[in-house]
Structure 1
Amino acid sequence: MNLGQVDLNLLVVLDALLREQNVTRAAERLHMSQPATSTALARLRKLLGDPLLVKQGRYLRLTPRGEALIEPVREVLGTIEQHIIAPPDFDPAHDERTFNLASSDYVGVVIMRPLLGRVNGLMPNVRLEMGALSGDAARMIERDEIDLVILPEVLAESMVSSSCSSAPVVRDRYVGAVWSQHPLAGGSLPLEALTRYPYLAYAPPNGCSLMDEDLERAGVTPRVEVTSVNFITMPFLMAGTDLVTIIPESLGEQLAPAAGIELLEPEFPLRPVRESAYWHSRRDADPAHRWLREQLLAVLP
């Protein structure tokens, strides 16, 4: 293959196809027509001597060659974006930039909302796109498909590779919570209350709850009667019930007045809440990304 015959625009199309594994979605991502994207895919197949995407039932899947190209293509495009296309400095008052971030709903309330308040209106050309955490979060960071993800550090230890950089952003603790007229209101939360009263459990989509591990370690199995996939809804489910639950303290303090709950000091040990922001180390020297990290750190309590 003669490098001089390679159209660099095809790399952008290839990147979108490798990410989306769907011609229609890749076309939408690139603001191209589907026929034009299909034509580009045909050119790529001929150029690389590989089908790249093959049908499997109703869907397309990457060939082994396609899988192997994901990181190198992203690396090449990232280098071009940062060192050739991007300006050497970033002026948030005038430069345009869209940042993609992902976090839990809890972090959205205690960290992302203040970040939005700091950025919104002051930097009209800066756009923040907030997304929910998914099982693909670690993969998206490693492939540099998202600017920044905030994850519990204990989960990130086994999920995030050494190609990523990080900064601590959440330092919190878990506390008990009950309706303001609950029999336990005004007191503390003993361990046996989790079996005496119905328990509202946090059940994240990935099925991994650190609190469950701590309670199991303490030798108690709560009387779970209600579960929630979101921390933010839990305080609002308590009114008029005998439910007890455990939530991050900073979230509880912000929502307690509106939800009509009281926070209780747990009488048993729970691991602290420790979450960090993660991003691909390729972004370390990016002036715009550095500015984003500075704004994030500026709103930390």
Structure 2
Amino acid sequence: MNLGQVDLNLLVVLDALLREQNVTRAAERLHMSQPATSTALARLRKVLGDPLLVKHGRYLQLTPRAEALVDPVRDVLATIEQSIVKPPGFDPAHDRRTFGVIASDYVGMMLIRPLLGRIGGLAPNLSLELAQISGHFLRLLERDEIDLAILPESLAEGERLGDCASVPVLADRFVGAVWRGHPLAGGSLPAAALAEHPYLAFAPPDGFSLIEEDLDKAGISRRVEATAISFVTMPFLLAGTGLVTIIPERLGRQVADAAGIVLLEPEFEIRAVRESAYWHSRRNSDPGHRWLREQLVAVVG
């Protein structure tokens, strides 16, 4: 391979193709036309002596050579971006910057909303691109494709996050919740009530529910009548019903009046809510990223 044949723009296209495994989506990511992206792919195949993307049914998949290039290409571009492209400092009052953040709607309400209120007056040209937690969060962190991922620590435990740094940002506990006209209103929440009354379960798209996992381990049966994928919507589903549910306490206290609910002290144990912000350690020295982390910690404080 002649190194002179590989320019930086070609590496950027290669990175997009390796990420998307789709020429059209790679072109959209790069704001290029599809023919131009296809031409770049043809050049890359010639330079690297490998097809890189091959048809597998209706889709394209990476060749073994392409799989082996994913991390090295990402590392090279990230190093260029962090060391050369980005300015050496960050002036929040004037610099323009967009940060990608993964977080649940619960974190959005408890942390991101006050964060936006804080940075709005300090950094008028800064924006956040928010995305929900998905099963791809680990890959996004490993490949340094996201600025921050705010995750339950129990979800991140055991994952390969060796190249990531983190800081705790949210602690909460779970409590019961019912409509204020419910027979249980004004009392506590015994374990038996989850089987005696219709139960609203938390069932997020990723399938991981700390609450349901702990209830299963404790052998507490539930009469599930409905499920919800969002903590934020759960309190608002209770009014006028006999439903019983379990939600984070801070969220419950914030929306209790608007949702017409009361909170109940559970008579059984559920692990506390602990969330941390994770990012690739390559961004530790990025002044803009460091400034954003400082604002997040200030909101937590």
User: What is the aligned partner in structure 2 of residue 24 from structure 1?
Assistant: 24
Q: What is the Cα deviation at residue 123 of structure 1?
A: 1.6
Q: What is the Cα deviation at residue 20 of structure 1?
A: 1.1
Q: What is the Cα deviation at residue 295 of structure 1?
A: 0.9
User: What is the aligned partner in structure 2 of residue 79 from structure 1?
Assistant: 79
Is structure 2 residue 270 aligned with structure 1 residue 278?
A: no
Is structure 2 residue 116 aligned with structure 1 residue 116?
A: yes
Q: Residues of 1 paired with 2:179 and 2:223: CA distance?
A: 17
Letter in 1 for 2:281: S
Stretches of structure 1 lacking an aligned partner (at least 5 in a row): none
Write the deviation string for residues 17-73 of structure 1: whole angstroms up to 9, x where unpaired. 111111111111111111111000000011111111111122111111111111111
Pair 1:126–1:9, CA change in 2 (3 A): same
3-state DSSP of counterpart to 1:98 = strand
Write the deviation string for residues 238-266 of structure 1: whole angstroms up to 9, x where unpaired. 01111000000111111111111111111
Letter in 2 for 1:31: H
User: What is the aligned partner in structure 2 of residue 215 from structure 1?
Assistant: 215
Letter in 2 for 1:136: H
Q: Residues of 2 paired with 1:114 and 1:160: CA distance?
A: 30
User: What is the aligned partner in structure 1 of residue 106 from structure 2?
Assistant: 106
Q: Residues of 2 paired with 1:289 and 1:265: CA distance?
A: 39
Q: Residues of 1 paired with 2:32 and 2:218: CA distance?
A: 56
Q: Residues of 2 paired with 1:92 and 1:16: CA distance?
A: 29
Q: Which deviates more, 229-238 or 117-126?
A: 117-126
Stretches of structure 2 lacking an aligned partner (at least 5 in a row): none
> After superposition, where does 1:51-200 map in structure 2 within 5 Å?
51-200=51-200
Letter in 1 for 2:67: E
TM-score, normalised via structure 2 length: 0.97
Q: Residues of 2 paired with 1:260 and 1:153: CA distance?
A: 31
Q: Residues of 2 paired with 1:87 and 1:216: CA distance?
A: 51
3-state DSSP of counterpart to 1:120 = helix
User: What is the aligned partner in structure 2 of residue 291 from structure 1?
Assistant: 291
Q: Residues of 1 paired with 2:254 and 2:59: CA distance?
A: 44
Q: What is the Cα deviation at residue 147 of structure 1?
A: 0.5
Is structure 2 residue 262 aligned with structure 1 residue 262?
A: yes
3-state DSSP of counterpart to 1:45 = helix
Letter in 2 for 1:50: D
Q: Residues of 2 paired with 1:267 and 1:55: CA distance?
A: 56
Q: Which structure 1 residue ranges, 4+ long, deviate > 4 Å from structure 2? A: none
State whether residues 189 and 264 of structure 2, in contact with CA within 8 Å, keep that contact through their aligned partners in structure 1. yes
3-state DSSP of counterpart to 2:213 = helix
3-state DSSP of counterpart to 2:277 = strand
Q: Residues of 2 paired with 1:207 and 1:83: CA distance?
A: 39
3-state DSSP of counterpart to 1:130 = strand
Q: Residues of 1 paired with 2:219 and 2:12: CA distance?
A: 54
3-state DSSP of counterpart to 2:175 = strand
Q: Residues of 1 paired with 2:213 and 2:101: CA distance?
A: 28
Letter in 2 for 1:130: L
Letter in 2 for 1:20: E
Q: What is the Cα deviation at residue 172 of structure 1?
A: 0.5
Q: Which deviates more, 259-268 or 206-215?
A: 206-215
Q: What is the Cα deviation at residue 160 of structure 1?
A: 3.9
- Count of aligned residue pairs for this structure pair: 301
Q: What is the Cα deviation at residue 218 of structure 1?
A: 2.2
Q: What is the Cα deviation at residue 92 of structure 1?
A: 1.3
Q: Which deviates more, 170-179 or 66-75?
A: 66-75
User: What is the aligned partner in structure 2 of residue 232 from structure 1?
Assistant: 232
Q: What is the Cα deviation at residue 121 of structure 1?
A: 4.5
Q: Residues of 1 paired with 2:100 and 2:169: CA distance?
A: 17
Q: What is the Cα deviation at residue 113 of structure 1?
A: 0.7
Q: Residues of 2 paired with 1:276 and 1:27: CA distance?
A: 34
TM-score, normalised via structure 1 length: 0.97
State whether residues 106 and 231 of structure 2, in contact with CA within 8 Å, keep that contact through their aligned partners in structure 1. yes
Q: Residues of 2 paired with 1:45 and 1:2: CA distance?
A: 13
Q: Residues of 1 paired with 2:120 and 2:126: CA distance?
A: 8
User: What is the aligned partner in structure 2 of residue 205 from structure 1?
Assistant: 205
Letter in 2 for 1:208: F
| Percent of matched pairs sharing the same residue | 71
